[in-house]
Amino acid sequence: MGLVPIILSGGKGTRLWPVSRELHPKPFIRLADGESFLQKAYRRAIGLDGVSRVVTVTNRALSFKTMDEYRALGQSQIECGMLLEPEGRNTAPAFAAAVAAVSRRFGPQEVLLFLTADHLIQDFPAFRQAVQQAVQLAETGRIVTFGIRPESPETGYGYIEAAGTDVLRFVEKPSLDRAQEFLASGRYLWNSGMFCVRADVAEEELKRHAPDAWQAAEQSLAAGRTLEGQHEWQIMLDEKAFALAPDISVDHALMEKTGRASVVPCDIGWSDIGSWAAFGNLFPSDGKGNQIDGDVIAVDTESCYVHSDARVVGAIGLKDLVIVDTPDALLVARKDKLQDIKSVVAQLKERGDDAYQIHRTAHRPWGTYTVLEEAERFKIKRIVVHAGQSLSLQMHHHRSEHWIVVSGVARVTNGEDTFLVNSNESTYIPAGHKHRLENPGIIDLVMIEVQSGEYLGEDDIVRFADIYGRN
């Protein structure tokens, strides 16, 4: 019997837009020390006693970026498994898929520790102690959640009414008056969304209380595709089977129904950092209550959080605002209106603006591309292909491409021809031609791509072969 941390890394990145986006969600946001939420979750997981493997449940589109985040930490001795969802279906299907996968791969007696990828825990020794207590309870057949002792009457969290480690009931996000009552009573805890359970117990309870989620998890796992590597493995869950899973949380599907629920009350320096106001509190305040992240000049400004990725931001005569500046999007909002960010994201999506989904710099399994300029009938990109990596053999119906190598060496397939393009050289790919770009060297290949045509969307691509298994 061992402990297997399961990192749930999903979400669509609305509350912390424009830094968080659908293909660059909150777990990938970097904090002041340079590490992302996801990296900190991974460090917490591997820092626990007896942990030799970690499983992550995430979206297929985020798998390569996730592995890049882990590899950057240099913990190659840890076995990394990944369950790749074709789409987000809330936490219950992800929970069920992880239970099924771990049980079949490592055994039903394994103790699973479900962790969130986008929360902050600042007291690791207290967290480790809480996990030890949870493991002891899980080994007796309990499904354990972690309850955070509340510090204020928060209305954005679910609550757990508890007596010691006994769960009396789960409570939805309350009104302010009820939250104040909860705080005063001393009986209520914040629901952290973390769980600890033995695999066989979880399977038994899911079959009893959430059979649809369990059946979809089993079928998507059985029909999925597995890729094995050294200290790494991936299971791509079957799309059709997974789509049958209900869109429901673990709390609603299982925890509110099971008779085996326990809770570990804890003080671990936990926060879900659910808004820009909360994120700003991670930074020190100046004499006027401002939190500054980046190159910002604040004049006659108070109680503001200002974030700048690159440009100088001047803030003059402002109060109680959040300003978040990125290369392609700017957020300006009153602190009491931050919940409406989701409306901005929804409108961007409705009008087909990619700013809801990706940054100008997008990550791919082979490297990155950055959109430098875009207008009607042309787009200019900076493309970086890592050493030994390759784009798919592909074709575009509506655009041609002109490639200029800035540094490194490119191996280019254009129709029936394959040839090398060196630094300061270029080549042209007509629309309708099969082509592939590879980096045969030992340093990054950097090139400029100029696209021209009647349609320049990223979905104008036909793949014929791909080393990363993409369709």
Among the residue ranges 71-75, 184-188, 376-380, 406-410, the one predicted with the least confidence is 71-75
Strand-strand pairing, 225-229 and 188-198: unpaired
Cα gap 84→94, rounded to integer Å? 9
The pLDDT of 28-45, averaged and rounded, is 93
The pLDDT of 164-169, averaged and rounded, is 94
pLDDT score of 238 more than 90: yes
The pLDDT of 249-268, averaged and rounded, is 95
Reading the block at residue 189, the tokens are 């805890």
pLDDT score of 95 more than 90: yes
pLDDT score of 32 more than 90: no
Span 412-436, pLDDT tens digits: 999 999 999 999 999 999 999 999 9
Reading the block at residue 447, the tokens are 């090139």
Domains of the chain, first to last: 3-271 (3.90.550.10), 276-340 (no CATH), 361-465 (2.60.120.10)
pLDDT score of 342 more than 70: yes
> CB of 331 within 8 A of CB of 277?
no
Give the pLDDT confidence score for residue 1 in this predicted structure: 65
Span 295-307, pLDDT tens digits: 999 999 999 999 9
Task: Write the CA distances from 425 to 111, 177, 379, 436, 448, integer angstroms.
Answer: 56, 68, 20, 17, 11
Q: Sorting pLDDT into bands at 50, 70 and 90, what band is 230?
A: confident
pTM of the model: 0.88
Task: Kindly report the average pLDDT of the chain as a whole number.
Answer: 94
Residue 317's region, left for phi above 0, alpha for psi from -120 to 50, else beta, is left
Give the pLDDT confidence score for residue 451 in this predicted structure: 96
Question: CA-CA-CA-CA torsion for 263, 266, 272, 276, nearest 10 degrees?
Answer: 150
Task: Write the CA distances from 310 to 36, 327, 381, 434, integer angstroms.
Answer: 18, 7, 19, 37
